[in-house]
Structure 1
């Protein structure tokens, strides 16, 4: 379909004798906000790592807007896979603005040859990236923090910066790995608004999150995972009403 953004076909991954992705097939369309839920060790972050290129699948295929995804992280990012990380991976000694400027998916200044040959283009690209960073930070309510060293910000604001940096990649697939961990109050409300806005803009958004209320409030559907397998996909209410799934989630965790 023309509005399908991401498709996984029979994706498998194992480490030694441990299967961490077991024949996973999944699709996301423009405007979707899909939640990934399940106990710790279910394979949710592993799935993000396979999509974003940190890991390569042993079998199966992953497509972005109909094109086969291949290669490592930087190639996937340039193709249009934007993601956050559980532990943020911010450059803690750099300012907020400096962190933001590593986010665009195609910046000519990354190449020494292009920097020397296309000086004007590099300057224009940097100016455009700064303008975009200011706009994103304004949406986050953090425009005043642009010149602040990241480590000097409260934890909740650092989480917002992690998402803001991902938004600098204008690709159509956004993967958010536990964006709400440690986030509360006004930062919680900001995160909700940003996710809604990104989906409304035509992105496909996938969220790994243990905050079930956040998933219920935002997600059009959810997928329940356990032991590297998708057990069920449906509405959040249907999944959380399932006795079998809630026993898996709140009973015996798998790692």
Structure 2
């Protein structure tokens, strides 16, 4: 006869059997499913209203906020672990500095383009012409160095003012290893010219197979127009969230 086991618990740090079991399930090394229910989830589902009903008290938003504050004050420094399902000592990086530095190479070429704020308000034909000049002068020689028969891919991280937009074309070797061909860094570039650069790169990548684009915030625009041009099956619009990290990082780490 079959059966099932349900384990309900809060965390007790990262280095304990309960958290290791969760990691094994998320990494696909053990059958099962993980159901994560935080204190805030319970509040949204009516936990305090249910308490008021059982105790014969009138529910008010003010009373609920006060009750929540009291609960969190009671747990103090343990609130994240006991209420938010975040195990202690979980600040370890998936990509350590040592790992990143070991993957760095001075051989990777970078095409950089930065403009002043006034560029955004120039006539469209001038912006397009300057953008095309950058693409032809800085990017085309890098594209020319790609193996013509290799499959290619693209990763993108979006930025507009304080952060850079970075394009990372990759090509696949015979052993299925993927190498970064070069990088394109765009600083303070208007949305339309970012689109122009993105299309220029992808249009000229040999045997383009697909890309993953940052679709958070304003980055959603570039991800959307890329999916419209190259197909939703080839362009993944990635929206980073807590749930995304929970779903994707454990298998990546394993």
What TM-score bracket applies, with the shorter chain setting the length? under 0.3
Q: Which has the higher strand share?
A: 1
Structure number with the bigger relative contact order (C-alpha 8 A, sep ≥ 6) is: 1
